[in-house]
Amino acid sequence: MTPGEFAESIRLEDGRNFVLRPLHPDDLEALRRAFLRLTPEEIEYRFFYRSRELPASVQAQVRGLDPTRDAAFVVDDAGEIRAVADLHMATADGRTAEFGLIVGKAISGHGIGKRLMLKLLDEAGRRGLAALQGSVRADNGRMLDLCRELGATISPDPDDAGVLCVRLAPAP
């Protein structure tokens, strides 16, 4: 952990403890290991294609993390990464960011996805963004329910009937 950076503890009702903290470029190896633990379905829901290893585009993003354009948070389990949430500036006017979220099955179903989305929305508010937007597969009921619970506007993707566009505004 970098001195001075935030770290929040997460305690599940079954007693497990994790740390929510920012992602660092030197997390790459831990991210590669985390990717190998994902199911093909989790990978498809997050990345929209199948891959056996951490996609090169993600590796490049992690190596070149730019704090002015990117924010990423991980759930750290004694050095193993169990979940990642990230945002990336999407529009030239700097008002909207794309988000991504993945919570591994070992810790899903305990409210961590919601907590990470709220963290991203806080970060978006802190940066003065108008909205977070993301693409979610139309059959990803769990993620869509989570987004609805957070007040998202959900609309069809004009280019892909299998995908929905999700838009969330940070609290004013």
Ligand X SMILES: CC(C)(COP(=O)(O)OP(=O)(O)OC[C@H]1O[C@@H](n2cnc3c(N)ncnc32)[C@H](O)[C@@H]1OP(=O)(O)O)[C@@H](O)C(=O)NCCC(=O)NCCS
Residues that bind ligand X (CB under 6 A): 42, 45-46, 100-103, 108-114, 134, 136, 140, 142-143, 145-146
- Show the tokens assigned to 145: 């329910």
- CB of 121 or CB of 143, closer to ligand X: 143
For the bound state, the minimum distance from the C-beta of residue 3 to ligand X, rounded and expressed in Å, comes to 29
- CB of 32 or CB of 119, closer to ligand X: 119
- Comparing every residue's Cβ against ligand X, the nearest one is 113
Q: Among all chains, which residue has been given the structure tokens 């199911």?
A: 39
R_g (Cα) of the chain, nearest Å: 15
For the bound state, the minimum distance from the C-beta of residue 133 to ligand X, rounded and expressed in Å, comes to 11
- CB of 111 or CB of 125, closer to ligand X: 111
- CB of 21 or CB of 46, closer to ligand X: 46
Are residues 96 and 87 in contact, defined by beta-carbon separation less than 8 angstroms? no
For the bound state, the minimum distance from the C-beta of residue 4 to ligand X, rounded and expressed in Å, comes to 28
In angstroms, rounded to a whole number, what is the distance separating the alpha carbons of residues 145 and 123? 22
For the bound state, the minimum distance from the C-beta of residue 16 to ligand X, rounded and expressed in Å, comes to 12
In angstroms, rounded to a whole number, what is the distance separating the alpha carbons of residues 74 and 85? 7
Q: Among all chains, which residue has been given the structure tokens 């294609």?
A: 49
* CA-wise closest residue to 98 among 135, 130, 62, 128: 135
- CB of 113 or CB of 170, closer to ligand X: 113
Question: Cβ contacts of residue 24 below 8 Å, gap of 6+?
Answer: 2, 65
For the bound state, the minimum distance from the C-beta of residue 170 to ligand X, rounded and expressed in Å, comes to 17
